[in-house]
Chain A
C-alpha cells in the first residue's frame, strides 16, 4: 500500500518535472558555441547515466543484503533495480552514439569511457541471461547476487576511466572551466528529474516482482 502511494506521488511529480525539464533544456539553456544544438543531448545522456549508476548501486546493496539476510525480497529489489539500470545503460549507449556521430564523425570509438560502459552493459545482460537459465529460485538469487556485487566494480572504473587512460570523452566539470551557470542549473534540474524517474521505475518494477512472487507461491499451493 505504501509502495502504491509512493509510486502515485512520484508519477504526478514526474508529470510536472518532465515538461519543465524539456522547457529548460530546449528554451532556457544557451546553445553551446562549438557543438551547437546537438550539445543538448548531454542533459539527457548524463542524466540517464546518473540514473543507471543509482540503479546499479541499489542492485549492489540489495545483493549484499540478500547474501547476508537470505531474504528473497532483497533479490526482488536487486533484479528490479538491475532492470532499470540496464534500460538506462542501453539508452546511454544509444544517446551517446547519436551525439558522437555529428561531433566525432563516428557512431562508436573504442574510448576507455565508452568501452567500460559497454562492459557494464554486457555484465548486466549476463545477469539477466543467468537469471533466465536457473529454475531454482534460491540458487537464481544467490548466483545473480554474486554478479550484482562483482559487476559493480566496473562503476568506479567508468568514473575514473577518463583519468586513468587517454580519453576523448568530454568531462562535465573541469577545474577553472566547465559549464556556464545557466547550463549547470539546467543540468542539475535534469539530473534531479531523472533520479526521480529512476526511483519511480524501480518501485514500479519492484512491485511487479513482488506480485510475481505471490503468484508463484499461490501456484505452488494449488499444485500441492
Chain B
C-alpha cells in the first residue's frame, strides 16, 4: 500500500477528533447535570 501513513493518519485524526469532542462534551454534561441536581435539591430545601 503506497503512502499508507497519510491514509491511516487522515482517518485516525478524524476519528480521534470526533471521539475527543464527544468525550469532552459528555464529561461537561455530566458535571452540569450534577450541579443542576445539587441546586434543585437546595431550592427544594428552601421551599
Contact = CB atoms under 8 A, between A and B. Distances in A.
Contact of A91 (B1, B3, B14): B14
Interface string B3-47: 110110111011001100110010011001101100110110000
A205 B29 CA distance: 9
Given A45-B10, A102-B3, A215 B39 contact: yes
B15 to A, nearest CB: 9
Contacts of B6: 38, 41, 98-99, 101-102
Contacts of B21: 87, 201
Interface string A158-169: 000000000000
A195 interface: no
Chain B binding surface, main DSSP class? helix
A205 B40 CA distance: 23
Interface residues of B, number: 26
A17 to B, nearest CB: 14
B39 A219 contact: yes
A37 interface: yes
Interface centre among A38, A98, A102, A211 (most CB of B within 10 A): A98
Contact of B13 (A98, A221, A222): A98
Chain A: interface secondary structure? helix
Contacts of B42: 222
A48 interface: yes
A102 B9 CA distance: 12
A143 interface: no
A90 interface: yes
A176 interface: no
Contact of B36 (A98, A197, A207, A211): A211
Contacts of A101: 6
Interface of B: 1-4, 6-7, 9-11, 13-14, 17-18, 21-22, 25, 28-29, 32-33, 35-36, 39-40, 42-43
Interface of A: 36-38, 40-41, 44-45, 48, 87, 90-91, 94-95, 98-99, 101-102, 197, 201, 204-205, 207-208, 211-212, 214-215, 218-219, 221-222
